[in-house]
Amino acid sequence: MSASETNTEKQAKRHSPALIGIGIAVAIGVIIAVVLAVSVAIRGNDPGDQDDNAQPVPTAAEEVSVQQ
């Protein structure tokens, strides 16, 4: 079974808007990934960055005993 039309120039013209859209979507995805990676690298996650006044979250058992 063969293709009914094999005019590749005509097919390239018809597909160019879709290919441009795919290229733009990929570029936006790469930009978002790079911005996210840079943001995480800059902020870091050092143990010294935690708030000294932070209170531990009570467990369900502790909440029940506090309410009674």
Q: Is 63 domain-assigned? A: no
In a domain, 26, yes or no: yes
Within a domain: 2:
no
- Domain ranges, residue 35: 10-44
- pTM strictly above 0.75: no
Residue 19 lies in a domain: yes
**Residue 5 included in any domain:** no
Question: Quick check: is 29 in a domain?
Answer: yes
Instruction: State the Cα–Cα distance between residues 10 and 54, nearest whole angstrom.
Output: 65
- Asked if 58 contacts 66 with a C-beta cutoff of 8 angstroms, the reply is yes
59 assigned to some structural domain: no
Total domain count for the chain? 1
pLDDT (tens place) for every residue of the chain, 68 residues total? 566 777 888 888 889 999 999 999 999 999 999 999 998 888 876 665 556 666 777 677 766 665 55
Helix (H) or strand (E) holding 28: helix 8-43
